[in-house]
Structure 1
Amino acid sequence: MSESGKLDLNLLNIFLEVFRLKSITLAADSLGMTQPGVSGALKRLQQQIGTDLFIREGRGITPTNAAIQLAIQIEPALQGINSAIGTLKQFDNQQYRQFRILVNESALAKIQPIVEADQTLGKIAIEFNMVPNNEEDLLNSLSMQKADLAIDIHYPKVNGYKTQKVQDDELVLIARKGHPRIDGTIDQVQFYSEKHVTFRMRRSNQYTADYFTTLPLKERKISAECDSLIAMCALISASDCIGSTSRYIANRFANQFQLQVLALPFETIPVQQYMIWHKRTDNHPSHQWLRDKILQYLKSSQ
């Protein structure tokens, strides 16, 4: 312990970031520090408490048992302190601030046009990027503050992150108007006899229809696989293939692509959208403002 007998809270925050990311390099990026600065902070903390906190293992680092116990005890307290400080800071939309939001295609189609038309944003800018293909990248983006918020149909069940369901949708089938065999309804026999344009969801790596039906689907005749729901609508409009998408996307582009919107001949589960964010930002006025804005946008798009 130092001569004053007091620990520097900044050292504890740096320790927790290294502990959480298991990397001095990633922690330095997250904290906006240099790697030597993070290493020096860890060294000072270890000297103050008189024990090693990390050991080298291959090219990375592994926390000692002392580090694990320290993190368990101090993380809730530091989160409370950071939240209390955050609530004292006022948010002003007349001061420039850029938010970055990770979204799936359906959320992007809903929100981006509303943001562009919003005259109440002041000097606030909102940038949208697609959600990463895997959950680890998504969590790292939120943890390292490369993104402020994410909106997706999946949500991580991991400590340190918060989620809120923001919208319900449902899965439907689309086919072109004037289809030679389909007009208004479709049964299971027709479903399996037609060729399909499929959409493989980014993080689950499953086709949409397989993910949102209650029973496993049999093998289908696949004509094309898309990574864009709008591209799927365009392909179906120009062929006799069929495909599955959310009702919002189907209704939004039905007239533009001359599509029929049909009920699936299977029992489905709801298509639910979630907001996802890191707990450390939960009480920050700027982040509360952002979440409230997103809820307003989604409500107005219903």
Structure 2
Amino acid sequence: MTRSIREFDPCTSSRLFTIYANEAVIDLLQPYLDKLLANLTVRIVCKHSPAIEDEQYQDLQMQKVDLLIDIVPPKLKMFHFQKVAQERMVCVVRQQHPSIQQSVNRDQYFAAQHVMYRFHRDNMRVADIISNELLPQRILYSEQSSILSMLSLISKSNAIGIAPCTFSKSYAELFKLDLLELPFETRPIELFSIWPSKHVQDKSCIWLRQTIETLMEQAYSA
């Protein structure tokens, strides 16, 4: 019996699935996964996506990983994808900031020092991805490859930053942060689940995709 038509039961299977995703997605998704898997024998492990885009797709094609969650849909026809969530970005400042409270205007935003989060891919910065306009140069305070590190640093300084709203809400009270609307027009960041086209009829992979779609909807609507 071929893999594509083999039956799959998550209550009896010992299958281990592996997912690539970014820091914020894993942080939000993991509690929902833990709850779902508590009474199942199947396992799902989340790993941080490789910094190099080609590497993550190679691992997906070579079955080293079963599913990829990314902000950019694949260009190659050998992969299928589906939008599973979207996330708006917010301006993050520490509570009791000396000049920014409750809201931030354009002048305040561009006059402030910035903790910047840089995506690994193409060295992109968040503001330039989500903005509908070409933004003026910002004053760099620090550059981080971890969103959590960025939030921690903002909590200890007068620098500001941009971060995913849903993720930041989880840590706003802990780090004593205010989440404010950005003073320029933006578009949300979309999140896609991506899998090899050759597994489109695989029962186990269908279960995984549907499960992740459901949990992502729960995580990003909470």
The TM-score range, normalised by the shorter chain, is over 0.9
Q: Distance in 2 between matches of 1:165 and 1:248?
A: 17
**Deviation, structure 1 residue 121:** 5.2
Letter matched to residue 88 of structure 1: I
- Report the counterpart of residue 102 of structure 2 in structure 1: 184
2:213 counterpart of 1:289: no
2:148 counterpart of 1:230: yes
- Report the counterpart of residue 91 of structure 1 in structure 2: 8
**Deviation, structure 1 residue 296:** 1.8
Q: Distance in 2 between matches of 1:124 and 1:251?
A: 30
Q: Distance in 1 between matches of 2:5 and 2:132?
A: 47
Asked whether the 8 Å contact 2:16–2:42 carries over to 1, the reply is yes
Asked whether the 8 Å contact 1:214–1:269 carries over to 2, the reply is yes
- Report the counterpart of residue 166 of structure 1 in structure 2: 84
Q: Distance in 1 between matches of 2:5 and 2:138?
A: 57
- Report the counterpart of residue 19 of structure 2 in structure 1: 101
Aligned ranges 1:252-263 → 2 under 5 Å: 252-263=170-181
SS of the residue 1:118 aligns to? helix
Q: Distance in 1 between matches of 2:124 and 2:89?
A: 14
Asked whether the 8 Å contact 1:132–1:203 carries over to 2, the reply is no
Letter matched to residue 164 of structure 1: Q
Q: Distance in 1 between matches of 2:52 and 2:192?
A: 16
- Report the counterpart of residue 31 of structure 2 in structure 1: 113
Letter matched to residue 95 of structure 1: S
- Report the counterpart of residue 193 of structure 1 in structure 2: 111
**Deviation, structure 1 residue 86:** 3.8
**Deviation, structure 1 residue 254:** 0.9
Q: Distance in 1 between matches of 2:64 and 2:4?
A: 22
- Report the counterpart of residue 144 of structure 1 in structure 2: 62
Q: Distance in 2 between matches of 1:168 and 1:88?
A: 32
Asked whether the 8 Å contact 2:85–2:216 carries over to 1, the reply is yes
Asked whether the 8 Å contact 2:4–2:199 carries over to 1, the reply is no
RMSD after superposition: 1.4
**Deviation, structure 1 residue 95:** 2.2
Larger relative helix fraction: 1
- Report the counterpart of residue 219 of structure 1 in structure 2: 137
Letter matched to residue 132 of structure 1: P
Q: Decide which of 112, 118, 125 is 2:43's aligned counterpart.
A: 125
**Deviation, structure 1 residue 266:** 0.8
Q: Distance in 2 between matches of 1:88 and 1:135?
A: 31
Q: Distance in 2 between matches of 1:205 and 1:286?
A: 35
Asked whether the 8 Å contact 2:68–2:194 carries over to 1, the reply is yes
Question: TM-score w.r.t. structure 1 length?
Answer: 0.70
Structure with larger Rg: 1
Q: Distance in 2 between matches of 1:96 and 1:209?
A: 42
Letter matched to residue 175 of structure 2: F
**Deviation, structure 1 residue 119:** 4.4
**Deviation, structure 1 residue 133:** 1.6
Aligned-pair identity in percent equals: 31
2:169 counterpart of 1:251: yes
